[in-house]
Structure formats: C-alpha cells, structure tokens
C-alpha cells in the first residue's frame, strides 16, 4: 500500500512537469546538427588567391532588406549587403551558427551612410541584429557593447 501511495504522489507531481517540458520542447526549433555545419562549410567557394568568395544569395539579401525595413523605420533605403563571416558555437549545452552581413543604409535626416551588422541563421533562415539606432551618436550601436560600457561605468 505504501508503494502504491508513493507512486501515486510521484505521478501527481511528475506528470504536470512532463507535460510542461514536452510543451516547451515542441515549440522550440530543433538544434543545429553537425551535418548542418558540414553543409555550410562545403558550400563555401575559394578563389585562386585562397580567399573565401563572399556569399551573394538573392533570397538572403531580400530577407535582410525586408528585415531592415521592418525593424528600422528610420532607414530610407539599403545600398549594399556584403557577406562578412560565418561563425559557429559549440558547447556541451548549446550549438548554433550564423552568417554575418554588413549592410550599408541611408538613415533619414542623416547625411552620411551608416552600417548595420545583420545575422542570418541558415538553419532557421531567419534574420536578426543586435544593432539599435542611437539618436545622440547618430550611429547604430550594438546592444551588448552599450550594456558593457554601462556596466564598466557604473
């Protein structure tokens, strides 16, 4: 009887947590697999000088331009989308990768052209950026860098 009661108590606590855990993982995107890294690396081309040819994909460029239009309403237009790098992160707890693009943009009421750092995740095909417009500086600043400076100065 004691075993039955202890099993009943354990199930009453374990089942709700198992359901919550299942709901959380079902809504999350699958992690990047090693095969994804291999695929990305195999897609790189090298020029005769041994340099990696920049990625120039029309669909990625469209996604980047649309992202900028949506996130940065102060941008009048986008001029150049230039591939900058490919980064991977591997640890026992996390695995991810992304391409970085540098994008030249024209900001409303600012004379000089400005630059945005944009990330493209080839697994999810989503675009993101940590840059925010700083009105005082009249520059796009990376949020992490701003936070680091605030932490150092406080």
How many Cβ atoms sit within 10 Å of the Cβ of residue 149? 11
Q: Please report the pLDDT score of residue 28 as a whole number.
A: 54
Tokens read off for 21: 């855990």
Torsion of CA 61, 63, 64, 66, to 10 degrees: 120
Q: Please report the pLDDT score of residue 66 as a whole number.
A: 97
Q: In DSSP terms, which residues pair with 134 in a beta bridge?
A: 139
Query: Does 11 score more than 70 pLDDT?
Result: no
- Please write the tens of the pLDDT for every residue from 61-82: 999 999 999 999 999 999 999 9
3-state secondary structure of 102: strand
Angle (CA) 92-98-100 rounded to 5° is 140
pTM, to two decimals: 0.72
Domain boundaries, the chain: 1-30, 34-153
Query: Does 5 score more than 60 pLDDT?
Result: no
- C-beta separation of 67 from 127 below 8 A: yes
| Residue 34 confidence class, pLDDT cut points 50, 70, 90 | confident
Query: What is the C-alpha separation between 32 and 38, in angstroms, rounded?
Result: 11
Q: Please report the pLDDT score of residue 15 as a whole number.
A: 41
Q: Which residue has the tokens 């932490």?
A: 151
Query: Does 20 score more than 50 pLDDT?
Result: no
Query: What is the C-alpha separation between 89 and 38, in angstroms, rounded?
Result: 14
CA distances from 44 to 40, 60, 86, 130, 145 (A): 7, 15, 10, 25, 30
Q: Please report the pLDDT score of residue 119 as a whole number.
A: 97
Q: Please report the pLDDT score of residue 149 as a whole number.
A: 62
């Amino acid at each position: 009887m004691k075993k039955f009661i202890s099993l009943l108590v354990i199930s009453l606590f374990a089942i709700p947590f198992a359901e919550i855990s299942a709901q959380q993982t079902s809504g999350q995107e699958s992690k990047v697999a090693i095969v994804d890294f291999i695929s990305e690396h195999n897609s790189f081309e090298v020029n005769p000088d041994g340099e990696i040819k920049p990625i120039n994909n029309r669909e990625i460029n469209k996604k980047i331009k649309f992202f900028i239009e949506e996130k940065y309403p102060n941008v009048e237009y986008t001029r150049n989308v230039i591939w900058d790098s490919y980064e991977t992160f591997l640890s026992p707890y996390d695995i991810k990768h992304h391409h970085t693009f540098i994008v030249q943009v024209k900001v409303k009421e600012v004379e000089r052209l400005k630059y945005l750092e944009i990330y493209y995740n080839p697994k999810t095909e989503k675009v993101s950026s940590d840059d925010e417009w700083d009105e005082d500086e009249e520059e796009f600043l990376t949020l992490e860098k701003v936070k680091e400076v605030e932490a150092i100065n406080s």
